[in-house]
């Protein structure tokens, strides 16, 4: 059974509870789970901890509590499975920064995007931080890539990118 493929299907359909279960199964049954199995799950869990998100979806408080613990654990697992991966590092920095408002991650993001040009994920932050003025090409490439598979993680990134594009035009 391909838990990852099924998880992505449920994720794209917006069935986050089923997607969580399948991503968790994928991670527990597969020593070399795809990077996106980790990161897709991280973003679902991380967003569940957002009060506006969990209130609007009337989520079980136990799931919210679990999500707050699991997103950090899954990120740690991704770092162990994919040591030195710039996308994993980006999400560690980004989730911590957005959740706590601490730390300036701009220089770290510039370093990450410069070190691994095949991964434009740090453009999410850099483009947003600049109000949509800098890293436009990288942001456009990232958006194009996200549109190919509309998982929760990719929809989140598209939302951030599109909101900055809208604000830039006003």
> Is 167's pLDDT higher than 80?
no
Q: pLDDT digit string (tens) for 37-94?
A: 999 999 999 999 999 998 999 999 999 999 999 999 999 999 999 999 999 999 999 9
Q: CA separation (Å) from 59 to 4, 43, 66, 152, 156?
A: 23, 16, 11, 16, 18
- DSSP H helices in the chain: 3-13, 16-29, 35-48, 51-56, 61-81, 86-100, 106-115, 123-129, 136-147, 152-169
* Residue 96 burial (10 A CB sphere; 0-12, 13-18, 19+): middle
Of 134, 129, 36, nearest to 91 (Cα)?
A: 36
112 band by pLDDT with thresholds 50, 70 and 90: very high
Q: What is the pLDDT of residue 168?
A: 56
Q: What is the mean pLDDT of residues 141-170?
A: 88
Round to the nearest angstrom and report the end-to-end CA distance of the chain: 49
């Amino acid at each position: 059974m391909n838990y990852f493929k099924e998880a992505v299907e449920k994720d794209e359909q917006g069935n986050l509870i089923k997607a969580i279960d399948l991503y968790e199964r994928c991670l527990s049954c597969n020593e070399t789970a795809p990077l996106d199995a980790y990161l897709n799950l991280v973003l679902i869990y991380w967003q569940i901890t957002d009060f506006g998100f969990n209130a609007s979806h009337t989520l079980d408080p136990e799931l919210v509590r679990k999500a707050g613990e699991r997103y950090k654990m899954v990120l740690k697992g991704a770092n162990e499975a994919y040591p030195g991966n710039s996308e994993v590092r980006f999400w560690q920095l980004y989730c911590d920064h957005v959740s706590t408002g601490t730390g300036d991650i701009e220089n770290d993001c510039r370093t990450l995007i410069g070190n691994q040009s095949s991964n434009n994920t740090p453009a999410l932050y850099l483009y947003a931080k600049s109000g949509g003025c800098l890293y436009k090409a990288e942001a456009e490439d990232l958006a194009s890539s996200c549109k190919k598979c509309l998982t929760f993680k990719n929809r989140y990134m598209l939302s951030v990118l599109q909101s900055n594009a809208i604000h830039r035009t006003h």
